[in-house]
Structure 1
């Protein structure tokens, strides 16, 4: 069972800020920006490259949730803004084998990332 599955099952505490039928979102314990939340699907998909056609609804729900969460946190605007990131594999910084979306905001984010 992954760390995220334990958070979803409420076996490990987290600062949960959003939940729906498809996902749970909570604040990252090691934030890289003033706003840094993780949007985690309840269905375990190890990494985005492992997703299959049956995962379309879940993947779409993650992006829709990101917009709702950004609005809830006051960063869904053209004068503020936010970034979404998905890490796939060790070289990309993946640390938990349960696909998730990082929502980062609250400061100007440089480009390119990394």
Structure 2
């Protein structure tokens, strides 16, 4: 998508602080972090939201995303104290970029409910 900020980051048109990438997934630091560790994990394929995931995507992309999250949790030393994975879906769910993505938050005590 030509107007998608995450697609532009994936294509290298917009700089980012990348922390992980493979053939299907890219992860980078959030520019407005809500925790000491706040990463965005994004599929390279443009999928607007979780409700738009095809069966093929659910079998291929979602396992890669969650494998990346596990890798990053270990790399950023979050596995001992805990962390949160967030996926916002739709306007009322807080989704501000229409490209499927997951937030990995950690490094401090996270509150519940989130807001």
1:28-61 deviations in Å (ceiling 9; x for gaps): 0011111100000001110001111011210111
Residue 76 (structure 1) shift: 1.6
Partner of residue 26 from structure 2, selected from 17, 24, 27 = 24
4+ aligned runs moved over 4 Å, structure 1: none
Alignment of 1:1-114 (within 5 A): 1=2, 2-56=4-58, 57-77=60-80, 80-114=81-115
Equivalent residues, number: 112
Residue 83 (structure 1) shift: 0.5
Pairwise CA RMSD:
0.8
Name the SS of the counterpart of 2:68 in structure 1.
Answer: helix
Name the SS of the counterpart of 1:18 in structure 2.
Answer: strand
Structure 1 gaps of 5+ residues are none
